[in-house]
Amino acid sequence: MSYQKYHERMRAILSAWTQLAPEESFGGLTLAEFTAKFQAIEDAKAQVDQRKLQLSSDRQTYSLLLRGERDSLRLISNSVCGNPAHGDDSPLYRAMGYVPRSERASGLSRRTSVEAEATTDNSPEAEAA
């Protein structure tokens, strides 16, 4: 049974006990003792709910602060690139998590004639023939 169901069950038991047999004791507990235990649970649940709300608020604040710092990060990295003492091929630039200019791939790829033929042979017209 989930905590929520236990909590609902305790609330139902407390309500029925209060209305129908307030002078009786069950399970070695009086109504006042059970009410005190239930109140402690209610207080703890209220604290948990408040902390969940605070956590949600703190996460939202954290997210907004990080989004606001994107521009600062871009300005800093661009400043390092433009600084004659450092530049975009420096150890500082690498230590900041960027790829130095000398280590970047050019993006140029040269196909061999075998790869070019394989590409054209997979065309729909070649397969239909």
Q: Measuring CA to CA, how many Å separate 84 from each of 49, 53, 71, 102?
A: 54, 49, 22, 16
Task: Find the length of the chain.
Answer: 129
Q: What is the pLDDT of residues 81-94, one digit of tens each?
A: 898 889 888 899 89
Task: State the chain's mean pLDDT as an integer.
Answer: 87
Report the alpha-carbon distance of residue 33 to residue 30 in Å, rounded.
5
Report the predicted TM-score, pTM, of the whole model to 2 decimal places: 0.54
Torsional class of 111: left (φ above 0), alpha (ψ -120 to 50), beta (otherwise): beta
